[in-house]
């Protein structure tokens, strides 16, 4: 029997390739549905503390990266405005995703280029490192905190589209207010933890990675990590800003680090319940809530 013409064989090959692609996509979708119980991947939300109805919703991956960017900034003594600039920049450059591609050799959250002296690929793909490098350059911009966000970001990034940063400023302002602790109990994530291994050791390591060694988490016992909040951070009779920064960071990292409960300042977030902060329980099987001078983080098995 003669072979089919070449164009027919090519057509069959294309159809077969397309079918394989579709099957792989379906398999990926099924896997996600299996892991998350038929629901989309977890979402996180930040809301305005000004009762103006403003809010921003994003993925757990984006939340993790945003929390790291904010923590690295405050650990370096950078003001909230610097964190806002960094977050708006990362939203524009990568959508707050740690991507391995971009224009030419650009990589990571800020699309930094190894050939332009930002570091090697391994370093740039570390969100804590790339954020620190961004802040290092931003600090060298005279009067950056008084400049329009687009101008300050452009002095660091040298982007071909500097005005694009402006559209992300409102969301970055909300994120910075929550993740620097100025707006208490305004950051939450859906009540699901990820499938990666968790545990107190990973939480402590991540805290030191993002905040530096001045953050000294103690083991509260079993699956609990307690993080002391310096008394010097207290402003008037308000709960310390540093405490809410640490608490919001823990919620943002909950999916990656299998964090089940975060308590601080008489409030509590639970992965097994609502995705909002509620008044902490004071006794019973759940145990007491965190003291005013500590953040308590309870991890999964």
Q: How is 19-78 classified by DSSP, letter by letter?
A: HHHHHHHHHHHHHHHHHTTTSPSPEEEEE-TTSS--EEEEEHHHHHHHHHHHHHHHHTT-
Distance CA(270)–CA(251), nearest Å, equals 9
What DSSP string describes 69-111?
HHHHHHHTT--HHHHHHHHHHHHHHHTT---S--STT-BTTTT
What SS3 class is residue 266?
coil
What SS3 class is residue 238?
strand
Mean pLDDT across 48-56: 92
8 A C-beta contact, residue 260 and residue 249 = no
Lowest mean pLDDT among 1-5, 129-133, 204-208, 219-223: 1-5
Q: Which DSSP state fits 144?
A: G
What is the edge-to-edge ordering of all strands in the sheet holding 294-299?
Answer: 218-221, 224-228, 294-299, 259-264, 267-270, 278-279
Buried b vs exposed e over 236-248: b needs ≥16 C-beta within 10 Å? eeebbbbbbbbbb
For the chain, count helices (H), then strands (E): 10, 9
Q: Does residue 150 surpass a pLDDT of 50?
A: yes
Longest C-alpha distance within the chain, in Å? 91
Among residues 274, 251, 119, which one has the least CA distance to residue 191?
274
- The per-residue pLDDT of the chain, averaged, comes to 82
Q: Does residue 91 surpass a pLDDT of 70?
A: yes
Among residues 273, 267, 271, which one has the least CA distance to residue 299?
271
pTM (2 d.p.)? 0.81
Cα torsion at 169, 171, 177, 179 (round to 10°)? Answer: -120
Distance CA(151)–CA(209), nearest Å, equals 30
- pLDDT of the residue at 112: 93
Mean pLDDT across 225-252: 78
| DSSP bridge partners of 57 | 45
Give the angle 280-239-48 at the CA atoms, nearest 5°: 85
Mean pLDDT across 102-124: 89
């Amino acid at each position: 029997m003669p072979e089919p013409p070449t164009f027919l064989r090519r057509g069959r090959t294309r159809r077969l390739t397309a079918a394989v692609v579709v099957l792989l996509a379906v398999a990926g979708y099924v896997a996600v549905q299996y892991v998350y119980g038929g629901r989309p991947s977890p979402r996180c939300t930040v809301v305005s503390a000004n009762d103006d109805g403003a809010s921003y919703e994003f993925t757990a991956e984006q939340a993790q990266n945003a929390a790291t960017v904010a923590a690295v900034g405050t650990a370096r003594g950078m003001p909230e405005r610097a964190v806002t600039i960094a977050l708006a920049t990362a939203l524009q450059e990568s959508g707050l995703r740690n991507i391995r591609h971009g224009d030419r050799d650009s990589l990571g959250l800020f699309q930094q280029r190894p050939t332009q002296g930002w570091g090697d690929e391994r370093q740039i793909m570390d969100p804590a490192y790339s954020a620190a490098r961004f802040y290092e350059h931003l600090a060298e911009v005279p009067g950056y905190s008084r400049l329009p966000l687009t101008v300050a970001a452009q002095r660091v990034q040298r982007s071909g589209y500097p005005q694009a940063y402006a559209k992300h400023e409102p969301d970055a302002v909300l994120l910075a207010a929550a993740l620097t602790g100025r707006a208490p109990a305004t950051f939450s994530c859906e009540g699901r933890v990820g499938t990666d291994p968790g545990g107190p050791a990973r939480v402590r390591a991540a805290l030191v990675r993002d905040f530096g060694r001045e953050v000294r988490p103690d083991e509260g016992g079993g699956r609990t990590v307690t993080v002391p909040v310096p008394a010097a951070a207290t402003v008037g009779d308000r709960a310390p800003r540093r405490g809410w920064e640490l608490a919001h960071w823990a919620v943002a990292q909950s999916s990656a680090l299998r964090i089940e409960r975060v308590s601080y300042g008489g409030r509590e977030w639970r992965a097994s319940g609502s995705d909002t902060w509620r008044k902490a329980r004071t006794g019973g099987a759940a145990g007491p809530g965190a003291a005013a001078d500590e953040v308590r983080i309870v991890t999964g098995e």
